[in-house]
């Protein structure tokens, strides 16, 4: 049966934190109020959020689907759900390998200097984590910055 996609509830908070930490994604700012989740048989199996930063920036992040539930379009459905009602500019800090994937929602690569301070901070913090990964002997992720809509200097989304 397809998982239920719904806005997160307060009771989902600890499962969200566990899921996001399991993939070593940015562990900050994990407020259930910003999350949309996928629920299968009463268990949280996927999550994504749009962070609302104090400087007004919107940032899609914390996208995780539990390994046993991958490749069933759950991530795609979660992204569709959170972007459906967002007309503002949305930023993503993600691995370089993911650029092609997000193009489907109109995201294009952006230069860090064009990003709001909050997003630039997350991008730089993520890049700094590369050194932590190297020290731990884990393959580091090469991050990039993506943006969709809204900024006058960027091309329109392609679809
Ligand atoms: C990336 C992830 C969320 C995809 O979840 P999923 O439910 O399996 O994805 P879907 O079934 O909707 O996606 C179908 C395809 O898009 C790819 N995809 C989905 N989300 C993606 C993403 N954010 N970046 C890159 N590729 C992605 C999947 O790998 C899959 O490709 P394939 O059919 O060629 O194998 C999941 O693998 C995961 O949790 N990975 C670890 C955490 C992570 O990397 N999060 C992304 C941070 S930006």
pLDDT, tens digit, 9 for 90 and up, residues 56-115 = 999 999 999 999 999 999 999 999 999 997 889 999 999 999 999 999 999 999 999 999
Range of the domain at 140: 4-148
Are 110 and 91 in contact, with CB atoms under 8 Å apart?
A: yes
Give the domain CATH number at 101. 3.40.630.30
How many other C-beta atoms are found inside a 10 Å radius of the C-beta of residue 80? 14
Ligand 1, atom 13, residue with closest C-alpha: 73
- Is residue 18 a part of any domain in this protein? yes
104 inside domain: yes
Residue 149's pLDDT band, with cuts at 50, 70 and 90, is confident
Q: How many helices (H) and strands (E) does the chain have?
A: 4, 7
For residue 50, the CA-to-ligand 1 centroid distance in Å is: 17
Copy the structure tokens of residue 25: 């994604």
| Residue nearest ligand 1's atom 17 by CA | 101
Overall domain count for the chain: 1
Phi, psi of 13 (to 5 degrees): -55, -50
Query: What contacts 11, CB < 8 A, 6 or more positions away?
Result: none
Residue 36 token pair: 């949309």
């Amino acid at each position: 049966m397809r998982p239920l996609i719904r806005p997160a509830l307060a009771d989902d908070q600890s499962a969200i934190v566990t899921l996001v930490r399991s993939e070593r994604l940015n562990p900050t700012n994990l407020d259930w109020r910003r999350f949309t989740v996928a629920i299968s048989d009463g268990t949280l199996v996927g999550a994504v959020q749009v962070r609302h930063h104090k400087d007004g920036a919107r940032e899609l992040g914390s996208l995780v689907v539990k390994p046993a539930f991958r490749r069933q379009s759950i991530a795609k459905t979660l992204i569709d759900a959170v972007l459906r009602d967002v007309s503002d500019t949305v930023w993503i800090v993600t691995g370089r390998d993911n650029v092609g994937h997000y193009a489907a929602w109109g995201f294009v690569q952006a230069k860090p200097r064009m990003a709001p301070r909050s997003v630039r901070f997350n991008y730089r913090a993520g890049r700094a984590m590369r050194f932590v990964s190297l020290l731990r002997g884990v393959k580091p992720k090469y991050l990039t910055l993506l943006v969709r809509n809204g900024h006058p200097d960027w091309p329109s989304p392609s679809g």
